Amino acid sequence: MGLLDNKKIIIMGVANKSSLAFGCMQAIINQGGQVILTYQNDRMKRSLDRFVDDSVLKVECDVAKPENIEIAFANIAEKVGKVDGIVHAIAYAEKSDLDNKVTDGTLDSFSLAQNISVYSLIAAAKYGHEIMNENGAIVTLTYMGSERAIPNYNVMGIAKAGLESAVRYLARDLADKAIRVNAISAGAVKTLAVTGVKNHGDLIKISDERTVDGVGVTIEEVGNAAAFLLSPFASGIVGDTIYVDKGTHLI
């Protein structure tokens, strides 16, 4: 028996086999859950089809517009009925906003980062709770750049701070729906998202060196934590940010 037997979980943001969201997908399936994936566009759908079985439901959802999330979740409910959880693994910032100083950014690029990285979680909760069973859970992915001034993370760090704040307020507001909301602050892993950060190799190297055993965290370890937070075993964890970085944040 698994932690998520007979549970249906929406995962937003699986990009490839090295993504944190893919680690979450594997862990959820290993714990008996059924996954439903959302993807941004046809190009991402073709990529998903290369490594995700056709038996997995895939639904288009470009989170740049909240109405797309509403439509996608309605489509999911029509096909599989009520769901039990959501994994939100979506973030975006213009490359120039990562390479340059925060003061070099524009209002448009700042707003785009906030919209994709933060408001998409709020919209997913808004429309997701309507199709979610009681005792459901929402998990999003963040990074300690929300609390520390990480080199070249810049506007994304500001967005992650907003994301973690949104987790706390959503956890309060969805409590009457018996839905928990939490975040995982994952260590630096070589994913497609991290490669957009200038000198990302140095970032990963330093992060790995600061773990308690000198070995970096894996997508499997992050996925296992997500599966736990989605399960009834985590019923007492609400509105929190859980570090899954093998102690990098301790030093």
> Which segments are annotated as binding site for substrate?
93
So where are the chain's domains? 8-250
CATH, domain range 8-250:
3.40.50.720
pLDDT at residue 135, rounded to an integer: 95
Reported as a single tens digit per residue, the pLDDT across 190-204 is 665 655 555 566 677
Pick out the chain residues at pLDDT < 70.
190-202
Q: Which residues contact 94 (CB under 8 A, 6 or more apart)?
A: 105, 109, 112, 113, 155
pLDDT at residue 194, rounded to an integer: 55
pLDDT at residue 147, rounded to an integer: 93
> Which segments are annotated as binding site for NAD(+)?
13, 40, 62-63, 90, 160, 189-193
Backbone angles phi, psi at 35, to 5 degrees: -105, 145
pLDDT at residue 193, rounded to an integer: 60
Catalytic residues: 143, 153
> Which segments are annotated as binding site?
13, 40, 62-63, 90, 93, 160, 189-193
pLDDT at residue 221, rounded to an integer: 96
pLDDT at residue 199, rounded to an integer: 57
Reported as a single tens digit per residue, the pLDDT across 36-63 is 999 999 999 999 999 999 999 999 999 9
Other Cβ atoms less than 10 A from the Cβ of 107: the count is 7
pTM above 0.75, yes or no: yes
DSSP 73-141: HHHHHHHH--EEEEEE------HHHHHS-GGG--HHHHHHHHIIIIIHHHHHHHHHGGGEEEEEEEEEE
Reported as a single tens digit per residue, the pLDDT across 145-163 is 999 988 888 999 999 999 9
